[in-house]
Amino acid sequence: MEGLIKKALGKGQADYIEVRLEDKAVTSVVYSGRELDSAGANTTKGGNVRALYRGGWGFVSFNSMDQLEAKVAEACKAARLVGRGKSVLAKVPKVNADIRVSLKDDPRNISLAQKVALAKKYNQIIIGSKGIISSGVRYEDVFKKQTFANTEGSCITEERVYCGAAFSAVAKDGANVQRAHDSVGGTEGYHTVLKLEQNAQQTVRDALGLLKAEKVSSGKYTVVMDPKMCGVFAHEAFGHLSEADHISENAKLKKMMTLGRRFGANSLSILDDATIKGQRGHYYYDEEGVASHRNYLIKHGILVGRLHSRQTAGRMNEKATGSARAISYQFGPIVRMGCTYIEPRDCSFQKMIGEIKHGLYVVSALGGMTELEMFTFSAMKAYLIKNGRLGPMVRDVILTGNVFETLKNIDAIGDDLELHGGLGGCGKDGQMPLPVSDGGPHIRVKDVVVGGK
Amino acid sequence: MNKIIDQILGLAKKKTDAAEVILVEGQESPVDFRSGKLHSVEHKEIKGAGLRVIKNGRIGFSSTTDFGKLQELVDHAEAGAAFGQQAAFKLPAGCKPGGVKTVDPKLEKFTTAQAVAEGNKALGILAKKAPELKCDIGLNKKFHRVSLANSRGFQGQYDKTSFSYGLSGVSIINGSLTFIGQDRRGGKLDLATSEMTARIVKMYDDAQRTAKLSSGKMPVLFAPEAMRLLWMSVAMGVNGKAEQKKTTPLLGRLGEKMLDPRITITDDPLLPLGLSSAPFDDEGVCGAKLELFHRGVFKNFIYDLQTAGILGKRSTGHGSRSFSTQPSPQVSNLVIAAGQTKLAQIIRNMDSGLILYDLLGAGQSNIAAGDFSVNIGLGYKVEKGKITGRVKDAMVAGNVYDMLKNRVLEISSETEDKGPYRTPAMLFDGMNVTAK
């Protein structure tokens, strides 16, 4: 195959051309309520060619590997329709690499029957619990092998294996219906999804707990975020603003995101690091053949970096960061995150809570929306904090604010660190879900606006 | 009929009791402009097969785009059948497809370079007449061939073209972000650049003034694009799956007057060059025109094979899927009967009320039950038959079934194709509007 790709690339008429071929197999088991919804496996084989001509990209994707040379010609033709400027790509080393997965417990070696039995066991814990009217359990593993080659002489084959599970529980009392969920996922192997009985039980407890919880009263609170909410904040509120394709298209954002600007206290550092093995957001090379990096975005409170594709890095005269990713062969790479988190410091959870007279401890996020620097996140659950102690659970907690003010208001950073991958992923420009991780320690933020009753 | 399908069926018949193969081969050529500049030209080809089998009475499914591994496809489907749902149906042996036009020869000849030129033409018009708008444009030409066969002898194949054309602009007008857009989707080449740009320019001009609005009940005219929200809800309501799961307000209401007597809704898979037109559905059942509501009376749910089997009914030919998913019931083209009054006349007759084009946040509402509460993305105040300005920071709430039964004042005599819906505009009385 490699020879064929190189031959095809040699015939192209453009400033730069790359070819990416993909093999993928997905096995999933889905329980919905008492019923097994589906269990089975799908396979995909596909590829694409991307060509750059005078600054414009042409892109062609396909399933049939025949006539690779014609696909290259087609991509070049498309690029010629778009290109009207200058091709600029940040310089990166030529790479020849062959990375194969070797896991002790590769999920591909586990039978479908075992996967079904595992999902059934977790589902039974949830649906068999008193007060629970509906459940959802999803198991999924994905094997992906990608071969990349470009006209600069790089040629990389990389395999990745993802494995994870997601739980949901719906509890009902009269007209009061509450939901809770949890998920785990990574690239470490099948053991990621074993021994999750605790997670299933906790999901049940959360749904039942929410039935009894009062709605939170709206107002300003000192908020302690758990590592999951901290991760959502780092990824959604801040991380997307660090993506250079957004920055180069938006003058207002460009001004906001001037390197060297202070964003928080000395203790605050945020990074995107796709090199952490085992994480869902881990990869060796991005979809432009650039090695993943440990990229500091904020260091000691100062904005020091952002995430780049080779084109955005070249145009802004900065270094490529290995952040150009695509969800599949049907898409060209765009600037994305890998594993985004806030670095831990030295404050214990007890001290963080102990110093709060009146506040909220928010745990796990249901979802969120951002519009430039404004964010809105809803927590799965929260607990009131009164005079330094955790109080009763409250629900319908929605945090809103301006990311820059919120970063300045972080006044304590915990000594723990948790990274979270789950089963879903990040969405951008129609590419969803991209496997990512995020997280951090517990953090404390002053003056957070909380919507509620 | 097709070597690949024959091969898969042959392999599957050895290991299972019944088998069905769908093969989809397609290509699309999206052209995208962003912020007034040509952004990308792409060409995407897809070729994939889905295999559904029945073994020991249970359903298994798998799909692939790797045609070098057909045995693996069969093995996966068979393995899944050990755990799959009980099959409540027999695969159909065949039917007589209704004649339907699904290919537009003009669209087949339309080139990427022509798409780029058309986008530039639209940009040129808008740059002159609505200079503050930053415009995104997408033109996409698609072609696909669907082949379907099963172990009981059904064999069918058809080609289909489709085209989408979206124009949208964003601008800060009087201090607030304003999105204005128009789009066309269907089976034929529909280069409505002059009409679409003219509408955008009119909406842009009308948005330069901001109208005062106080909360209360008022007549609200839903333009065809806004009617999509209502039809989405109705499409969920008539879905046999919702009947099976008992999540539709139409449960047990067949034969009852559920809507205003002026409303007749027909599902028509044979609409010439309709977005969802096809001679047979994705399970090999031939569809035909089906009245869902006749003069307000609820006539039919729609079914696929499995849902129909579970409920003891017959498939209505609404099994819908891609090659990589199992079928589920889905409406095809919904044709809503036109009314008597010209849209311009309806507006002239309005004393005080709103016209809505774009609604935001529909996903947050309980659409299955018909309840919605949405932000008005783009809407205008009408006073004494004239548009007096844009309304900002306002919401509208209601229930789709209540509106369509109790609140219809007028139905426009013009209809427009909005995706799978051919719909008139409708004026509703006493809608709840909240100004923030």
Which residues 313-332 of A have a C-beta within 8 angstroms of B?
330, 332
The pLDDT, as a whole number, for residue B393 is 85
Which residues 127-166 of A have a C-beta within 8 angstroms of B?
none
ipTM of the complex: 0.91
- Which residues in chain B touch residue A65, judged by CB atoms under 8 angstroms apart? none
Query: Which residue shows structure tokens 């007279």?
Result: A357
With an 8 Å Cβ cutoff, are B76 and A42 in contact? Answer: yes
Distance CA A328, CA A147 (A): 12
Q: In 3D, which of A6, A322, A335 has the Cα closest to residue A147?
A: A6
| Rounded average pLDDT over B111-123 | 97
With an 8 Å Cβ cutoff, are B43 and A59 in contact? Answer: yes
| Rounded average pLDDT over A220-240 | 96
- Which residues in chain A touch residue B116, judged by CB atoms under 8 angstroms apart? 81
Distance CA B338, CA B421 (A): 12
Partner B contacted by A81 (CB < 8 A): yes
Would you say how long chain B is, in residues? 436
Number of Cβ atoms within 10 Å of the Cβ of B105: 10
Query: Which residue shows structure tokens 């708008």?
Result: B133
- Which residues in chain B touch residue A78, judged by CB atoms under 8 angstroms apart? 41-43, 112
Q: In 3D, which of B272, B267, B271 has the Cα closest to residue B104?
A: B272
| Rounded average pLDDT over A423-433 | 92
Q: Residue A50's beta-bridge partner residues? A: A18, A59
Which residues 215-244 of B have a C-beta within 8 angstroms of A?
none
Distance CA A294, CA A322 (A): 9
- Which residues in chain A touch residue B84, judged by CB atoms under 8 angstroms apart? 36, 38-40
Q: Using CA coordinates, name the residue in chain A closest to B65.
A: A44
Distance CA A149, CA A320 (A): 18
Q: Is the pLDDT of residue A97 over 60?
A: yes
Distance CA A443, CA A348 (A): 10
Residues 6 or more apart in contact with residue B208 via CB below 8 angstroms: B173, B174
Residue B436: which pLDDT band, with cuts at 50, 70 and 90? confident
Residue A265: which pLDDT band, with cuts at 50, 70 and 90? very high
Partner A contacted by B198 (CB < 8 A): no
- Which residues in chain B touch residue A46, judged by CB atoms under 8 angstroms apart? 65
In contact, A384 and A391? CB cutoff 8 Å: yes
Q: Using CA coordinates, name the residue in chain A closest to B48.
A: A63
Q: Is the pLDDT of residue A153 over 60?
A: yes
| Rounded average pLDDT over A50-66 | 95
| Rounded average pLDDT over B375-382 | 94
For residue B281, the distance in angstroms to the closest alpha carbon of chain A comes to 22
With an 8 Å Cβ cutoff, are B60 and A60 in contact? Answer: no
Q: Is the pLDDT of residue B362 over 70?
A: no
Q: Is the pLDDT of residue B176 over 60?
A: yes
Residue A251: which pLDDT band, with cuts at 50, 70 and 90? confident
With an 8 Å Cβ cutoff, are A82 and B39 in contact? Answer: yes
**Mutate which of B42, B71, B74, B140 to test chain A, going by most A C-beta atoms within 10 A?**
B42
- pLDDT one-digit tens code per residue, A159-206: 999 999 999 999 999 888 899 999 999 999 999 999 999 999 999 999
DSSP secondary structure letters along B338-366: P-SB-HHHHHHH-SEEEEEEEEE-GGGS-
DSSP secondary structure letters along A64-88: --TTHHHHHHHHHHHHHHH--S---
How many helices (H) and strands (E) chain A has is answered by 10, 25
Number of Cβ atoms within 10 Å of the Cβ of A219: 12
**Cβ-nearest to B69 among A35, A43, A61:** A43
What is the rounded average pLDDT for all residues in chain A? 95
For residue B294, the distance in angstroms to the closest alpha carbon of chain A comes to 34
Distance CA B150, CA B21 (A): 6
**Cβ-nearest to B45 among A43, A44, A62:** A62
Q: Using CA coordinates, name the residue in chain B closest to A65.
A: B66
Which residues 359-388 of A have a C-beta within 8 angstroms of B?
none
The pLDDT, as a whole number, for residue B364 is 60
In contact, B258 and B319? CB cutoff 8 Å: no
Instruction: Characterize the bridge pairing of strands B134-150 and B155-173.
Output: antiparallel
Query: Which residue shows structure tokens 């949208």?
Result: B168
| Rounded average pLDDT over A421-426 | 91
The pLDDT, as a whole number, for residue A453 is 53
One-letter amino acid of B366: N
With an 8 Å Cβ cutoff, are B40 and A45 in contact? Answer: no
Query: Which residue shows structure tokens 């080809």?
Result: B45
- Which residues in chain A touch residue B82, judged by CB atoms under 8 angstroms apart? 112-113
Q: Could you tell me how far CA A100 lies from the centroid of its own chain?
A: 23
Which residues 64-83 of B have a C-beta within 8 angstroms of A?
64-69, 72-73, 76-77, 79-80, 82-83
The pLDDT, as a whole number, for residue B365 is 67
Q: Using CA coordinates, name the residue in chain B closest to A112.
A: B79
Cα pseudo-dihedral B310, B315, B317, B320, rounded to 10: 10
| Rounded average pLDDT over B214-231 | 96
Cα B156 to Cα A99, B5, B20, B50, B279, distances in angstroms: 44, 11, 12, 15, 9
Distance CA A414, CA A417 (A): 8
Residue B1: which pLDDT band, with cuts at 50, 70 and 90? low
Distance CA B39, CA A425 (A): 26
Instruction: Annotate B381-417 with three-state secondary structure.
Output: EEECCEEEEECCCEEEEEEHHHHHHHCEEEEEEEEEE
With an 8 Å Cβ cutoff, are B65 and A44 in contact? Answer: yes
**Cis ω on the peptide bond leading into residue A433 (within 30° of 0)?**
yes
- Which residues in chain B touch residue A41, judged by CB atoms under 8 angstroms apart? 62, 76, 79-80
Q: Is the pLDDT of residue A239 over 90?
A: yes
Partner A contacted by B61 (CB < 8 A): yes
With an 8 Å Cβ cutoff, are A112 and B79 in contact? Answer: yes
For residue B60, the distance in angstroms to the closest alpha carbon of chain A comes to 7
Q: Residue B263's beta-bridge partner residues? A: none
**% of chain A beyond a pLDDT of 90:** 88
How is domain B3-200 classified at the CATH fold level?
PmbA/TldD fold (3.30.2290)
Q: In 3D, which of A419, A148, A156, A147 has the Cα closest to residue A274?
A: A419
For residue A254, the distance in angstroms to the closest alpha carbon of chain B comes to 16
The residue ranges of every structural domain in chain B are: 3-200, 210-436
Partner B contacted by A263 (CB < 8 A): no
Residues 6 or more apart in contact with residue A253 via CB below 8 angstroms: A241, A246, A247, A372
| Rounded average pLDDT over B133-159 | 96
In contact, B383 and B375? CB cutoff 8 Å: no
The pLDDT, as a whole number, for residue A452 is 62
Structure tokens at B317: 């030919």
Partner B contacted by A74 (CB < 8 A): yes
With an 8 Å Cβ cutoff, are A56 and B38 in contact? Answer: yes
**% of chain B beyond a pLDDT of 70:** 99
What is the rounded average pLDDT for all residues in chain B? 95
Q: Is the pLDDT of residue B210 over 80?
A: yes
Cα A89 to Cα A97, A311, A320, B323, distances in angstroms: 21, 5, 9, 38
Q: Is the pLDDT of residue A247 over 60?
A: yes
For residue B24, the distance in angstroms to the closest alpha carbon of chain A comes to 12
The pLDDT, as a whole number, for residue A252 is 83
Partner B contacted by A13 (CB < 8 A): no
The structural domains of chain A, ordered by start, are 2-212 (3.30.2290.10), 215-451 (no CATH)
**Helix, strand, or coil here: A430?**
coil
> Which helix (H) or strand (E) is A207 found in, with range?
helix A197-212
Instruction: Characterize the bridge pairing of strands B319-320 and B386-390.
Output: unpaired
Partner A contacted by B39 (CB < 8 A): yes
**Mutate which of A22, A32, A63 to test chain B, going by most B C-beta atoms within 10 A?**
A63
Q: Phi and psi for B399 in degrees, rounded to 5?
A: -125, 130
- Which residues in chain B touch residue A62, judged by CB atoms under 8 angstroms apart? 44-46
Number of Cβ atoms within 10 Å of the Cβ of B19: 27
- pLDDT one-digit tens code per residue, B279-335: 999 999 999 999 999 999 999 999 999 999 999 999 999 999 999 999 999 999 999
Q: Is the pLDDT of residue A1 over 80?
A: no
